Amino acid sequence: MSFQTNQNLMKRRNFFKTAALGGGTLALAPFSSCVQPSSPTTSESNYADFELNEWTISQLQEQMNSGKMNSEAITKKYLDRIEKIDKKGPELRAVIEINPEAIKIAQEMDIERMVGKVRGPLHGIPVLIKDNIDTGDQMQTTAGSLAMVGSPAPDDAIIVRKLREAGAVLLGKTNLSEWANFRSTKSSSGWSGRGGQVRNPFCLDRSPCGSSSGTGAAVSANLCAIGIGTETDGSIVCPSGINGIVGIKPTLGLWSGDGIIPISHSQDTAGPMARTVTDAAVLLGLLAEKAQDYTSHLDANGLKNTRIGIASDYFGFSAEVDKIFQDAILILKDNGAEIVENLKFEKRGEWGDAEWQVLISEFKADLNAYLKTRTGLQVNSLADLIEFNQKNADTELKWFGQEIFETAEKTTGLEDPVYLEALKNSKKLTREEGIDKLMDEHQLDALIAPTNGPAWQIDWVNGDHFGGGSSDVAAISGYPNITVPAGYVHGLPVGISFFGRAWSEPTLIKLAFAFEQATKHRKAPGFLKEIV
């Protein structure tokens, strides 16, 4: 496969990883965007007007601790918000399924609080998770595919168990790019056979990116307090950047991957998606394999005496994005950072093909192993999925195909020397000859690059029109990546990514928080029909 072809596939996957589930009818025609004014979707409704709009975890806890509000009331407000924004009104389609036990969980957390038991900062806090994450309850886990509708998963994923132990209220599951955008090179980010098309809350005819599209749109639109997405390559950071929120892709292994519908065990990870760095840091630490307090690294002066490198390979795809970054660099300098410019990854042209071979090989093996943990489904293997889609082409293959599935099915297993060589090379090129090399040579604390370009218009006929991004090197290496709002292009959010060595989350959180506090770029979306 040529590098250019592989780059196009990378663009498709730059928004993949999680699953979609839930009710609602499938959208069958593109959203009209030809003559609508640049204004809220109806004259009588302001969808940004919400009592809990932009509230943080600490603000919600203050309300509950003071007795002004309890978890049940907060949960009901978010459920009402989902009904108004997601199922009616602008039909965001970010939530694929509501947890029928959500109010019951909230009531239980309120009883505990009344008797003096507060489990921690997530006690009573409503959370939405991507529908490729197992929950051992009444909800489905489908990755957005109609083929996976049937019996729920038998057990909670480990991160879901930790979420429950922390006292969080699981509101429901979010829609996603079907199969985490690993089905077709012509897919539309945020579309799934089960959930329909997720829309960007800043402008409804624009893409929410993916594959954690539903989580990104839901968190941005204030349908929950915080959310969880998953990433193989870009699927947390792209929907976070394009929906104007904070996203953290952790170091591979910081969070358990147990109970998550897989693409690649050497790249997949779940991670926090939130409206603030603080809330993302809270969630990151509580769900880590070894729980830790990342909030201790939140320092508004955290940019002082740091060295930050500009990963210049990822610039130049948009003059307007470059202008935002020039402003961002000035802010970094004004707050005490030393900037090292014009850094390039010498081997960047080599790692794309290696990653592709790794992904298609691991997908077949990992998915087939995962499906053995599920009972009562219509499919038991990747081959079954391909056949199901062929038989249900009018729904599943209406807008794009499954050529990635078909390519992966032809792979011969994880003992194949071609796969093993690709795995070795992909890690070497992005680790010791990539991020580690640049950081050692220039004594850096972190690297920065644009997370995304402005959101493109949804196009089911031609697929996504991805402009640019920077997720690949951190994703392939398995190293951490944090995106924070950096500004807007014609009202569409653009993020800045801070990434670096393995296990450098404390440093990246410090830098991202300091930038966030110095800029305060995050704002609630306006649910416009179009950009004019």
Q: What pLDDT score was predicted for residue 43?
A: 35
Q: What pLDDT score was predicted for residue 48?
A: 84
Cβ contact 22:95 at 8 Å: yes
Q: What is the 3-state secondary structure (H, E, C) of 228-293?
A: EEEECCCCCHHHHHHCCCEEEECCCCCCCCCCECCCCCCCCEEEEEECCHHHHHHHHHHCCCCCCC
Q: Kindly state the average pLDDT of the residues 3-7.
A: 34
Q: What pLDDT score was predicted for residue 95?
A: 98
Please check the confidence at residue 3 and state whether its pLDDT lies above 50: no
Q: Kindly state the average pLDDT of the residues 158-162.
A: 98
CA trace torsion 76, 79, 81, 85 (10° rounding): -170
Q: What pLDDT score was predicted for residue 27?
A: 28
Please check the confidence at residue 380 and state whether its pLDDT lies above 90: yes
Band of pLDDT at residue 384, cut at 50, 70 and 90: very high
189: left (phi over 0), alpha (psi -120 to 50) or beta: beta
- What residues pair up with 40 in beta bridges, in sequence order? 528
Cβ contact 261:19 at 8 Å: yes
Q: Is 444 exposed, middle or buried (0-12, 13-18, 19+ CB in 10 A)?
A: buried
Please check the confidence at residue 6 and state whether its pLDDT lies above 70: no
- The tens digit of pLDDT for each residue in 427-478 reads 999 999 999 999 999 999 999 999 999 999 999 999 999 999 999 999 999 9
Q: What pLDDT score was predicted for residue 532?
A: 82
Tokens (6 digits) for 14: 């730059």
Q: What pLDDT score was predicted for residue 172?
A: 98
- The tens digit of pLDDT for each residue in 266-321 reads 999 999 999 999 999 999 999 999 999 999 999 999 999 999 999 999 999 999 99
* Cα distances (angstroms) measured from residue 364 to each of 344, 371, 409, 418: 33, 11, 6, 15
Cβ contact 202:491 at 8 Å: yes
Length of the chain in residues, anyone? 532
Q: Domain spans of the chain?
A: 47-519
In the DSSP assignment, the letter for residue 212 is: S
Query: C-alpha angle with apex 430: 288 to 325, nearest 5 degrees?
Result: 85
Cβ contact 435:499 at 8 Å: yes
pTM here is 0.93
Q: Is 363 exposed, middle or buried (0-12, 13-18, 19+ CB in 10 A)?
A: buried
What mean pLDDT, rounded, does the chain reach?
A: 92
Q: What pLDDT score was predicted for residue 46?
A: 85
Q: Kindly state the average pLDDT of the residues 142-155.
A: 98
Q: Kindly state the average pLDDT of the residues 244-251.
A: 99
| Distinct helix (H) and strand (E) counts, the chain | 17, 13
Please check the confidence at residue 5 and state whether its pLDDT lies above 60: no
Q: What pLDDT score was predicted for residue 305?
A: 98
CA distance 162 to 140: 19
CA distance 396 to 66: 49
Rounded to 5 degrees, what are φ and ψ at 217? -70, -40
CA distance 219 to 438: 34
Please check the confidence at residue 25 and state whether its pLDDT lies above 50: no
Tokens (6 digits) for 366: 């990992």
Band of pLDDT at residue 45, cut at 50, 70 and 90: low
Closest CA to 309 of 441, 431, 430, 433: 441
* CATH classification number, 47-519, choose in 3.90.1300.10, 3.30.200.20, 3.30.1490.100, 3.40.1170.10: 3.90.1300.10
As a 3-state breakdown, the chain gives helix, strand, coil percent values, each rounded to 5, of 40, 15, 45
Cβ contact 457:206 at 8 Å: yes
CB atoms within 10 A of CB 462: 10
Q: Kindly state the average pLDDT of the residues 88-98.
A: 96
Please check the confidence at residue 31 and state whether its pLDDT lies above 50: no
Q: Kindly state the average pLDDT of the residues 146-172.
A: 98
β-sheet with 306-311: strand ranges across: 95-98, 169-174, 126-130, 226-231, 269-274, 246-249, 481-489, 492-499, 446-450, 306-311, 337-343
Closest CA to 363 of 345, 385, 387: 385
CB atoms within 10 A of CB 504: 21
Tokens (6 digits) for 179: 């199969």
Please check the confidence at residue 16 and state whether its pLDDT lies above 70: no
Q: What pLDDT score was predicted for residue 37?
A: 34
Query: Quick one: angle between helices 57-66 and 277-286, nearest 10?
Result: 80
Q: Kindly state the average pLDDT of the residues 80-88.
A: 96
Q: Name the residues annotated as catalytic.
A: 130, 211, 235
